[in-house]
Amino acid sequence: MKLETRLAQIGNKKEKKTGAVNFPVYFSTAYEHISLGVSTGYDYSRTANPTRDVLEEAISQLEGGNGGFACSSGMAAIHTLMGLFSAGDHFVVSLDLYGGTYRLFEEVLTRFGLSFTYVDLRRSDDVKRAIGPNTKAVFIESPTNPLMQVTDLKQIAQIAKQAGCYTIVDNTFMTPYFQRPLELGADIVVHSATKYLGGHNDVLAGLIVVKGDELAERLRFIQNSIGAALGPLDTWLLMRGMKTLALRMEKHQENALAIAEYLKQHPLVDEVFYPSLNPESKAILDEQADGYGGMISFRVRNSGMIASILENLNVITYAESLGGVESLITYPARQTHADVPVEIRESIGVCDRLLRLSVGIEHKEDLIADLDQALKKADQE
Ligand SMILES: *Cc1c(COP(=O)(O)O)cnc(C)c1O
């Protein structure tokens, strides 16, 4: 069955007793035992919840995995999956990484004896060099946040496998609608479902999908042990959002393509980062994905323009986060990447002239007109 069909049908035909088309929210945390040693399959909501089960099965199928896990945020999902590893383990990680993931790795998990080497994953020789005897996984974001660098997932997964390492992919920017890393050789996929999967800026959630029954079993144990499970109402909100994922992703992309073209020709814009504008990125995505997504970053001519642009936009909202129906713009140097040391930040290109735009599903002409008037005002100031 095609992804659109599966997305629209999430939760349908699952509630046999009443035939509810929209799967109900099970708030109950406790479940009656039928008799000694016999349960309905549900005991306690941290371990399993009927509503969460539907979501976890849906995301697992969408990503082509053997087990799905819903967590209370994207960071909770990443923290939970890192529970697979032990003190002394080492990881090779995308250099251009979501700031919160960098903070979790460097400020929290290093205290538990894990270590991380950050590498430009577009350079496969650097990846091979960075893998050592204690390396347990390669952690990939692709396209990266905010510079939209694209990693050849098949190639890196192959290198990792040969070295006996797992490949973990943060698939937040693409969603399974555009990219399914498990089909390309990855072992674990993680999402901030707060972004495109939820899609409406109204629910904080994270999802994990793993390949193989062994990993699924281990992760089920860890999810229950850590307890960062997604609550039933948030689970329901997320499923409602996911039903329209296909429509939204098509529109995000259509708008992003038009805006990227507009920004590219603008005299006050020095550089535009959108995967299809870069021939290498485009070639890789044409192989491994079904689209380029809805995220754009761009560098304006000077940092003095930033405040004026952010203050003068009327349709596009100056707010952190991404992937929702409303267009949002952020200033990575001060927001998402504020925790990344300035030398690293500048060296990877997250400079103080860079803005990141999460293109929503509004009409593209309104979005372009909004950017146009804000850039004009910034020029006059
Ligand atoms: C937002 C984000 C996260 C963190 O997810 P939360 O839901 O905010 O905890 C992780 N990775 C990427 C790529 C993100 O954009």
Over the stretch 307-317, which tens digit does the pLDDT of each residue have? 999 999 999 99
C-alpha 102 to ligand 1 mean position (Å): 11
Q: Does 280 share its domain with 349? A: yes
Segment 45-51 mean pLDDT: 98
Q: Would you place residue 336 in the very low, low, confident or very high pLDDT band (cuts 50, 70, 90)? A: confident
Atom of ligand 1 nearest to the CA of 323: 15
In this predicted model, what pLDDT tens digit does every residue of 158-193 receive, in sequence order?
Answer: 999 999 999 999 999 999 999 999 999 999 999 999
33 vs 41: CA distance, rounded Å: 9
Q: Does 314 share its domain with 232? A: no
Please say if the pLDDT value at position 340 is more than 80: no
Catalytic residue among 6, 14, 43, 46: 46
Please say if the pLDDT value at position 216 is more than 80: yes
How many CB atoms sit inside 10 A of residue 133's CB? 7
pLDDT of the residue at 89: 98
| Domain total of the chain | 2
Burial of 15 (0-12, 13-18, 19+ CB in 10 A): middle
**For ligand 1, is residue 135 a contact (CB within 6 Å)?**
no
Q: Does 216 share its domain with 298? A: no
pLDDT of the residue at 269: 97
Catalytic residue among 31, 42, 98, 331: 98
Q: Please state the separation of Cα 28 from the chain's center in Å.
A: 30
pLDDT of the residue at 96: 86
Q: Does 201 share its domain with 261? A: no
Q: What is the CATH number of the domain that holds 235?
A: 3.40.640.10
The token pair at 20 is 């509810």
C-alpha 192 to ligand 1 mean position (Å): 4
Q: What is the CATH number of the domain that holds 288?
A: 3.90.1150.10
Domain boundary among 177, 211, 242: 242
pTM of the model: 0.97
Q: Does 209 share its domain with 282? A: no
**Would you say how long the chain is, in residues?**
381
Please say if the pLDDT value at position 275 is more than 90: yes
Burial of 174 (0-12, 13-18, 19+ CB in 10 A): buried
In this predicted model, what pLDDT tens digit does every residue of 132-151 receive, in sequence order?
Answer: 999 999 999 999 988 999 99
Please say if the pLDDT value at position 234 is more than 80: yes
pLDDT of the residue at 342: 86
Q: Does 224 share its domain with 334? A: no
Specify which residues 296 forms β-bridges with.
Answer: 357
Q: Would you place residue 43 in the very low, low, confident or very high pLDDT band (cuts 50, 70, 90)? A: very high
pLDDT of the residue at 237: 98
Share of the chain above pLDDT 90, in %: 92
Active site residue 290: no
Q: Does 148 share its domain with 264? A: no
Active site residue 46: yes
Segment 6-20 mean pLDDT: 96
Q: Does 210 share its domain with 189? A: yes
Segment 50-71 mean pLDDT: 98
**For ligand 1, is residue 73 a contact (CB within 6 Å)?**
yes
**For ligand 1, is residue 63 a contact (CB within 6 Å)?**
no
273 vs 50: CA distance, rounded Å: 42
Q: Which domain holds residue 210?
A: 3-242
Domain boundary among 212, 242, 272: 242
